[in-house]
Amino acid sequence: MGDSAVAASGGHADALFGLEELRSGPVRTPPDGGAARTAYGPLHRDSPTARRLLSVREIHAEPAAAASPRGREILARFPDARIIDVDSHWRIPELHGNEGNLERWVRVKSEVLVLGEKKTLATRPNGRSADWIAPGPANGCAMACAYCYVPRRKGYANPITVFTNIERIIAHLGRHITRQGPKREPNQCDPSAWVYDIGENGDCSVDALISDNVADLVRLFAHRPTAKASFATKFVNPDLLLLDPRGRTRVRFSVMPPGDSRLLDIRTSPVEQRIAAAADFLEAGYEVHFNLSPVVVRPGWEADWSLLLRHMDDVLPRAVKQQAAAEVIMLTHNRDLHELNLAWHPRAEDALWRPDIQQAKRSENGSWNVRYRNDTKAAAVDTVRALVAAHAPWLRIRYAF
């Protein structure tokens, strides 16, 4: 029995999930709002923890999205929520265009949900974290990381938008995977499989609290021997352990020094819990990687990253270490996001906004971002590589950006 199997059986005192939490699995909530259950008990998404993160009171919905099977399932999950018809999930003036929402930034994320249909289905080449960026099942997030890039495009509110036409997304991806055929040459993404990032604009672990979209994608890739799904997460959702990914979904737990996380990763799972969950997810059939992300350059950052890496080396079992790899992602900020943060979390900007060591750079989508100056960034990347080599030499760095 492996280390994580011992933990799951209750034989390891430090296990993040006991058997009672592992015995719950994704089931569809009936459209009539019935409390569907498995023989193993309730889902984590029905727990008090999940309700604190998502206490939805208002749902803005495109009519077609609300009427779809997935839309009806979601509406049934939140029967007390007020339903507001909208023409487009992207253009909701009272939500995205209301500057007054800045003072309710976190509250809106918790209490508001948007349902829409993803109109344009495109799979874009990437080549860094993944070979391809897939059309994701959602956009936005219930968490409130101060450095998140998604709010730069949405305006003054960034709740989760769930795309209910999941069957079209799955069909699109199935065709794309088939067209690629086998991967003929290894690269930094994966030696043998085409890797598809399914969570570019959100966090799939949180999305799985709302609907079965993520579960449906995991099932798709479980039966595709030439491809893998991949997503980064800062939230530990034990419901995902009951799926059967068969090694075809890569979960990338984002980690940073706990002090940075408490300041910047608002409403996320503690970093220690993300690390502790790695063995459980590996045992459940996921590939488990880590994102050292973002690396924030500030006084004392090197010592704090050393402590984090030593902690990972101390607590992670051999099985996790043998297959783990990491991405190193330096902080990228944005002037508009800086102004937005000043309205709801100005303390974060003391660490994020460093004009003395940052420079402006136009991103691929045409916006102006702020990144560390070339010499500062190069020196910091070298430092992270050296820290990993010294404290977690088993952690292969796939790429640093």
Report how far Cα 261 is from the mean position of its chain's Cα atoms.
Answer: 15
Sign of torsion, CA 164 165 170 172? negative
- Rounded to an integer, what distance in angstroms lies between the CA atom of residue 220 and that of residue 130? 17
**Would you give per-residue pLDDT tens digits along the chain (401 residues)?**
333 333 333 333 333 333 233 223 343 333 333 333 333 457 899 999 899 999 999 999 999 999 999 999 999 999 999 999 999 998 888 887 777 777 788 899 999 999 999 999 999 999 999 999 999 999 999 999 999 877 766 677 789 999 999 999 999 999 999 999 999 999 999 999 999 999 999 999 999 999 999 999 999 999 999 999 999 999 999 999 999 999 999 999 999 999 999 999 999 999 999 999 999 999 999 999 999 999 999 999 999 999 999 999 999 999 999 999 999 999 999 888 898 889 889 999 999 999 999 999 877 666 678 999 999 999 999 999 999 999 999 999 999 98
End-to-end CA distance of the chain: 38
Q: Which amino acid makes up residue 26?
A: P
- Rounded to an integer, what distance in angstroms lies between the CA atom of residue 107 and that of residue 190? 39
DSSP 240-258: GGGS--TT-EEEEEEE--H
HSE-CB at 372 with a 13 A cutoff on CA atoms is 19
Check residue 41 and report its DSSP letter: B
- Rounded to an integer, what distance in angstroms lies between the CA atom of residue 304 and that of residue 257? 6
Other beta carbons within 10 Å of 361? 12
Q: Which residues have CB under 8 Å from 92's CB, separation 6+?
A: 60, 86, 114
